[in-house]
Amino acid sequence: MAEDRVSVRLVIRGRVQGVGYRAWVGREARAGGLDGWARNRADGSVEALVSGAPERTRAFIEKAWRGPPAARVTAIDQTLAEAPVEPGFRILPTV
């Protein structure tokens, strides 16, 4: 039986650029077996698409509030999304 999956688009705000947040997202997502991507946005936020088992996705979002030591997350906007086309987790260029 196929594992249930959920896909969520996150926009993470606060001090999340220049502190290794995007790389941290990649490491945590891969460690949690999640698919998707992360990228910096010109407005100073980090955008991510995470897709995987519901409990792993929830755990990732909880960790995203902390992030790496120098980060200070003030908000995470969440919306349901389509699953990524490619498996694995990628870091994308800034938009």
Counting the structural domains of the chain, the total is 1
**27, 40, 41, 56: the active-site residue:** 40
* Position 65 in a domain: yes
Q: Which residues contact 43 (CB under 8 A, 6 or more apart)?
A: none
* Position 68 in a domain: yes
- Domain with 10, as residue range(s), is 6-77+85-91
CATH number reported for the structural domain that contains residue 20 in this entry = 3.30.70.100
pLDDT tens digits for range 38-81: 999 999 999 999 999 999 999 999 999 999 999 999 999 999 99
Is 40 among the residues known to form the active site? yes
Q: Which two tokens stand for residue 64?
A: 């995203």
Is 58 among the residues known to form the active site? no
Identify the DSSP state of 27.
Answer: H
Mean residue pLDDT of the chain comes to 95
**5, 22, 27, 56: the active-site residue:** 22
* Position 37 in a domain: yes
* Position 1 in a domain: no
pTM of the model: 0.92
